[in-house]
Structure 1
């Protein structure tokens, strides 16, 4: 039982050390990139707009299909 803390602490140090190394490396590599941030921002906003438009259109289509199905089944659609 005396060996468990030694192995656990060693494993923890190795895992956290590896994670810290790759986190620092990733941040350093991100800083080295000299991409045009404005074009990247536009691309992200364009993609977000497309996703939002698709969501709204699918929501409207679902509402229409639901309304038509309920009308077809002769259910009462009046508000109280």
Structure 2
């Protein structure tokens, strides 16, 4: 797993987590509509880096290591 992600990827990851926590598997179109831009490159990058699992145009899951990292990101946001 590549832990080097951009700020754009980090923000998108948190949006994906919000969807997954709500029991939804977001499509690339839904993520792009939410972000106001094409998220396909960032989704593909997160998938290649091992952060998310994607099938066709739908984000299905986060990797176990990503779950740990997201907990840290969320904790850091609350503490700021």
Asked which structure has the greater RCO (Cα within 8 Å, sep 6+), the reply is 2
The higher radius of gyration belongs to: 1
Mark yes or no: TM-score above 0.5: no
Q: 1 or 2, which has the higher helix percentage?
A: 1
With the length of structure 2 as denominator, give the TM-score of the two structures. 0.22
With the length of structure 1 as denominator, give the TM-score of the two structures. 0.22
Q: 1 or 2, which has the higher strand percentage?
A: 2
